[in-house]
Chain A
Amino acid sequence: MMKIYDYELSVNCYKQRLLLGILGVPYESIPVDFFPGWEHKGEAFAEINPLGHIPVIDDDGYILRDAQAILVYLALRYDPSGLWYPVTDPRVAGEVASWMAFAEGTTNTASAARLHDTLGYPFDIDTVRAGAQKLFRVLDDHVWFHEQQERPWVASAPHPTIADLALFPDVMLSEQGGISLLDYPALRRWTDRVKHIPGFTVMSGIFPAPAGAAPAGAAPGGATVGRPR
C-alpha cells in the first residue's frame, strides 16, 4: 500500500491526503515527529529524503519527495479521468504548472508565517507576512477575474486541478500566521468551493463547509472528477 511520511499539521502533507481522499486511493500514514522531535532533520530520515523535508511517498518501493511533485505523480498515476492534471491541453497544463510553482511561494511566506507564530520558527515575521500578502493579492485578483469569466478554479479548466489543492491549505490556514483573509474576498469564495469538492477531507485547523447548498461552480466539475470507481 502507498505510504506517506506524514505530519498532521503540515500543509504539504495535507495536500497529499486531500488528493488521495478525493481519488479514493487507500494509503498508510507513517507519522514523522516533525515537531517537537525534528525527526525529518535526523540522520535516519536523511536516508529517505536528504533534503530533510516531508512529505515523501513510498508507492510500492517508488520513493518521491516534494509536495507539488507528488501531486503530479498521484494525479497521473491514480486519476483515470485525467482531469486533475490535464496534460492533454497544453495551455491548461502550463497554467497548472505555473500555479504549482506559485504554491512554493505561498509555502515560503504564508506557511512560514504560520510556523513562526505557532511553532516558533525563527523567520523574519514582517518579511514573510508581507510576501504572503503580495502573493495573495495576485491570487485574489486572478480568482476574481476568473469568476467574471465563470471559471471557478485557478486554472482555466471547468473543473478543479491539483493547482487548486496545492494552493488551498496555505490560504486556508493563513490566519494562523497573522494574515487575515478579510482582504481577499475572492479567495474566501474559492476556498469554499474547494471544500465542496466530493471526497474533500479536513486537517486540524480546517473545518468542513457548513451543510447546505454547494456554491456555484463546485458540483458539476467536481462531482465527476477523479472518482474512478
Chain B
Amino acid sequence: MAVSDTATMGTPSCTDPVALHEWYPISALVEITPGLVHRTQLLGGAISYTRTPGGSRPVVWPSGGEASGAEVDGLAVDHQLPVRVKFGYVWTTLGRPEHELFDIAECDEADRRIQNGGSIMVATSAPRAIENFLDMGHFPYVHTGILGAEPRTEVLEYDVEVTDEEILATRCLFFQPQAALSASDGQMTEYVYRVPHPYCVMLYKSVPTDASRMDVIALFCQPMTEERVRAHNFLCMVDAVNSDTALKRFQQLIFGQDKPILENQSPRRLPLDPRAETPIRADKSSISYRRWLSAKGLTYAVIPATAPSPTPAPTPAPTRSS
C-alpha cells in the first residue's frame, strides 16, 4: 500500500458540507472480494470496504490499521458508513445526505448491457473530469478518427437547461467517424448530457444500429482527494454483437486518450470564477456546470470565486450565427 494512502488514515480532510453530505461510488460491487479488506480514499480520508461472507452485503468503514488484502468479517465491523448499491457500484457517504441517489431509467430495460468499464485513477479533480466529459470540442483532437475528425470540428449550437437537481444539455450534434464499437461508418451523432450530481455525469447517445434508442455512458467520480479522482466508467449499452470485454476495451481506449489531457490541465482544481478561464461556444454546458457548482456553494476540488463579479457574468454562449 502506498505511503500516501496510509498518511491520512481514517480522517477526511474535507470540511465542505456540500461535498460531505453527498453519495460517492467507491467500487463496482463485483470487484469486491467477500471477506477481504479493500482500501481506497474518499475526500482525503482512507476508507476500507468488503463484502460479508457469502457476498451479500457490502460494508464500508473509515480505515483503521487494517491492511489491504487482510481477512475481515464484515458483520463484525464497528462504525459502518451508510451504503447504497446502485448501477452495480457501492456508494457511501461521510455525511448525512438528505437526498437519495439519482436514477437512470434505461437501466431497467431488459436487453441493456450494464457493466463497469473500469475504475481508473487520474491525477486531476473530479470537476475537471466532469467538464472534459461534457466537452465535444476536443473530440477531433483527442479521439481522432473515432469520436471526431478534422476538418469537421464544429460544435453546433445546443440547448442547456439547469434546475437545482441537474443540468441537461440537449440537441448536441457532432460528426463521428466511429461513434461506438457497433458503428460501421461515420455519422452525425446526437448526444444528451446530464449532470445530476456534482461529480457524476452521463451522456446519452444515439445507438448506431437503432436510432430510436440511446446508449448511456456515465462517469461516476470518486474524489479521492481534491486533486485525485477515481473515475468509474459506467456502461449501459444496446449492443447485441460485441462482447463485454470488447465494450470495455472501447471505453478504456477513449478514457485512456483523455487521461493525459486531464493530467496536464492546470490548475487541477476547477476555477469557478467566471473570469478565470475564457469560455468559447463549446463551453456552454461547462459554464452552466461551473455556475451550478457555485450556486450549490461547493468548495471541494474547485477554486471558488472569491468575490462577486463587478459586472454581470458573461452570457453562456452566443447564439448560432450560421
List residues of A whose CB falls within 8 A of some B CB: 7-9, 31-33, 35-37, 39, 116-120, 122, 124-126, 175-176, 178, 203-205, 207
**The one of B68, B244, B254 that contacts A122, using a Cβ cutoff of 8 Å:** B68
**CB closest residue in chain B, given A120:** B121
A31-B249, A36-B248 known; 10 other A-B pairs, CB under 8 Å? A35-B118, A37-B245, A117-B121, A118-B259, A120-B40, A122-B68, A126-B3, A176-B260, A176-B263, A205-B260
A31 and B2 within 8 A (CB): no
**CB closest residue in chain A, given B259:** A205
Inside 8 A of A125's CB, which chain B residues have their CB? 2-4
B121 and A8 within 8 A (CB): no
A176 and B248 within 8 A (CB): no
A9 and B1 within 8 A (CB): no
In this complex, the interface size class of chain B, counting residues with CB under 8 Å from chain A, is 20 to 34
Does B306 have its Cβ within 8 Å of any Cβ on chain A?
Answer: no
Inside 8 A of A7's CB, which chain B residues have their CB? 249
- Contact A204 B120, CB 8 Å, known A36-B28, A125-B2, A175-B263: no
Within 8 A of A (CB), among B307-321: none
Within 8 A of A (CB), among B243-265: 243-246, 248-249, 252-257, 259-260, 263
**CB closest residue in chain A, given B40:** A120
**A190 CB → nearest B CB, Å:** 19
Q: Which 6 A-B pairs have the closest CB atoms?
A: A204-B256, A33-B245, A31-B249, A125-B2, A31-B245, A8-B253
Q: List 27 A-B contacts (CB under 8 A).
A: A8-B252, A8-B256, A9-B256, A31-B245, A31-B249, A32-B245, A33-B245, A36-B31, A36-B119, A39-B245, A116-B2, A117-B123, A118-B259, A119-B121, A120-B121, A122-B1, A124-B2, A175-B260, A175-B263, A176-B260, A176-B263, A178-B123, A204-B252, A204-B254, A204-B256, A205-B259, A205-B260
| Docked complex Cα distance between A35 and B233 (Å) | 12
Inside 8 A of B118's CB, which chain A residues have their CB? 35-36
Does B225 have its Cβ within 8 Å of any Cβ on chain A?
Answer: no
**B188 CB → nearest A CB, Å:** 25
List residues of B whose CB falls within 8 A of some A CB: 1-4, 28, 31, 40, 68-69, 116, 118-123, 230, 243-246, 248-249, 252-257, 259-260, 263
**B193 CB → nearest A CB, Å:** 22
Inside 8 A of B122's CB, which chain A residues have their CB? 118
A205 and B257 within 8 A (CB): yes
Residue from the set A8, A36, A125 with the largest chain B CB neighbour count within 10 Å = A36
A118 and B120 within 8 A (CB): yes
**B15 CB → nearest A CB, Å:** 26
| Docked complex Cα distance between A107 and B238 (Å) | 37
**CB closest residue in chain B, given A208:** B144
**CB closest residue in chain B, given A7:** B249
**CB closest residue in chain A, given B254:** A204
**A96 CB → nearest B CB, Å:** 29
Inside 8 A of A32's CB, which chain B residues have their CB? 245
Inside 8 A of B68's CB, which chain A residues have their CB? 122
**CB closest residue in chain A, given B143:** A204
Inside 8 A of A205's CB, which chain B residues have their CB? 256-257, 259-260
**CB closest residue in chain A, given B258:** A204
**A228 CB → nearest B CB, Å:** 26
**B9 CB → nearest A CB, Å:** 17
Inside 8 A of B244's CB, which chain A residues have their CB? 33
| Docked complex Cα distance between A141 and B282 (Å) | 45
B119 and A204 within 8 A (CB): no
Inside 8 A of A126's CB, which chain B residues have their CB? 3
B249 and A8 within 8 A (CB): yes
A204 and B253 within 8 A (CB): yes
**B242 CB → nearest A CB, Å:** 10
**CB closest residue in chain B, given A172:** B260
